Each structure stands twice: as C-alpha cells, then as structure tokens.
Amino acid sequence: MAYKHLTFNDRLKIEAWQKVGVKPAVMAAELGVHLSTIYRELKRGQYEHLNSDYTTEQRYSPDIAEEKNQANLRAKGAPLKIGSDHEYANYIEYKIRVEKYSPRAVLGEIKRKGVEFSVTISAPTLYRYIEQGVFLTITNDNLPVKRNKSERKYKKVRAARAPKGDSIEKRPAEIAERTTFGHWEMDCVEGKKGTKKTMLVLTERYTRYEIIRIMKDHTAASVVKALNGIERAYGANFSKVFQTITIDNGSEFSDYKGLEQSCRRSGKRTKAYYCHPYSSYERGSNENQNKMIRRHYPKGVSFEGVTSADMRKLEKWINNYPRGIFDYYTSADLYEACINSLISA
C-alpha cells in the first residue's frame, strides 16, 4: 500500500464516518491508507465535547487535526520520513514502550546490529516526532527522565567523623580514570518507605556491568551476606574481578572488615574505599545505573514481592542495554571480553 498524506477533505470524511460508527479499518480501506494512520489521525484530532446534559465524550475534530498537521509540517519542513515504513515505526515503538529503551539506544542498536529498514532517521528527528505525537503508542512520558546537568552542583563536605575503613582519598588515582577492569561501586536501592526489602547493586566502573541482589533488609549483616554469596559464585576469581569496591558511609556498609574478609579462605577478598559524605558523584556509575533500575521500579514501589528471578531479569536488561559510550555495544559485551582475558591470563 502506497503511503499518502491525509487531506482536509479526508478529515471531513473521517468525522462523518466516526459519527455513524464506521470502524477505523473500513476508513483506512476507503482512504487507501494504513490502519495506524487512521488511529494516529483520530488521536491527533481528539477533543472533549460537552453535551447538552453536561456529560462529556471524546470526539474527533477535522479542524483540530488539520491545525496540528499544519503545525507539524511547518516545524519539520518536510514530509514524515518514517511514514513510509510502518515496520520501522512499530519496531521503535516496541523498543521504547515495552523494552524501555531511549530513542538514541534504539537507533544505536539498529545501526550496530545492521538491522535494515527502508528508511532511517536521526536521533533529533526521532525525538521531534515523539514530541509532535507522530507515534501511536509512545509519548514523552515513555522516555527516560532527563536532568539539566548545569543545575546539578556538588559540594565536597568534610566528614564529621572518619570512616571506619579507608577513605576514597587513599584509593589509587588510576581507578578514577576508568582504564582498568575490576573496580566496582556498591550502593543500596530502597523500596517503599516502611518496608524492609532492599536491592544491593554493584557496578563495575570500566564496563558498567551490573550485579543486583535482593536483601531481606537494609543492614550491614545482609550486605555482607549478599557479598559472600557473590564471592562463592565467582570462586577463586573473585579477588581478580573485584579488586576494589567504592561505597558510601551508610550504616549498611559500616562492617568494612566483613566486606573485605573472604568467606572462602583466610585473608582479604577485596579492598573497600569510602566516599566523602554527600558526594554521590564519587559513585557516578552507581548513580546512573540506579536511574535505569528506577525505570522498572520507581521510587515508592515496595520490593516485598520482588524475587531473585526478578533481579536476574533486571540485571540482564541493564547489561544488554546499548550504550552510546561504548558505540552502542553493551556492558555484557565488554564484561565478557574482560572476564575471558582475565581467565586466560
């Protein structure tokens, strides 16, 4: 079916058909357009009509639809490039709405994997199309929340008391450069206020690989227990993979000896470093990954029903997410290469 633009006369027909109950599929066939075009059109011209009995109902206005269409044409200055490839549009909608990808991540993955469609669009164009309501099932509400970095200011605060373990000031400078593998950041993500279950999250600084464990509560004992479980899973390779872990001064990380002591043998399994107070930017990888977690578990959501299987699913999503900083390869891609190199060394 050839792609065509709706005219104002077409919009008048749609209004008349809708009033007598003609189905969208029939409208599409009569006008020679794709069914999704009709649904988008009905959405574009929708308004709330006040009846004489003071009840309201949703109706379609050809005038509103035409006005919005003309505004879009003036804004973009050219026909919708994506309009000729419904498969491409559906793919983008699914990735953003269901798999919770950002527009740039979708386009980056398409390019890296060599997925072919009849048209291609740039990231700015895709953002503009979403803003203009071109897509049927996605809006700005489906996009990750952006923050204005210029508004975010950090202030280094001197600790009221020294951390029980070593300060980040003693951490080797090369770790901050993110040029070597095996250095992690660790944090807790809490659920609804008044509930106990908590996520323990670890982020590898070089690859941004994520490990998540669900804990029964937000205590130092639970953190050590979870880390013990991870050590047992990695076995003899744990000390190579987890050379250092950077944490904050929260009470859940107060048992630095328990964090560092191996549960499999005598001696240490890793080295812990404590951030300055109120300096979450010193765990920037954690902070960014936590935002990805919040796409699935927003603040105020209880974790009481969350299972280990749910955490494995979330881990997989984060680690297989296309990342612009890696030319849209994933953390899992980089992590696997680093692990293979480490084991073969």
pLDDT for position 58: 85
Range with the poorest average pLDDT among 58-62, 122-126, 227-231, 262-266: 58-62
What average pLDDT score do residues 24-52 get? 88
pLDDT for position 74: 58
Residue 149 has pLDDT above 80, yes or no: no
pLDDT for position 154: 43
What average pLDDT score do residues 293-311 get? 94
Stated pTM of the model: 0.73
Distance CA 119, CA 223 (A): 49
Q: Where does the pLDDT of residue 165 fall: very low under 50, low under 70, confident under 90, or very high at 90 and above?
A: confident
Residue 156 has pLDDT above 50, yes or no: no
Q: Catalogue the E-assigned strands of the chain.
A: 46-50, 56-60, 166-167, 183-190, 198-204, 210-215, 244-247, 271-274
Residue 75 has pLDDT above 90, yes or no: no
Q: Is 295 exposed, middle or buried (0-12, 13-18, 19+ CB in 10 A)?
A: middle
Buried b (16+ CB within 10 A) or exposed e, 152-175: eeeeeeeeeeebebbebeebeeeb
pLDDT for position 3: 52
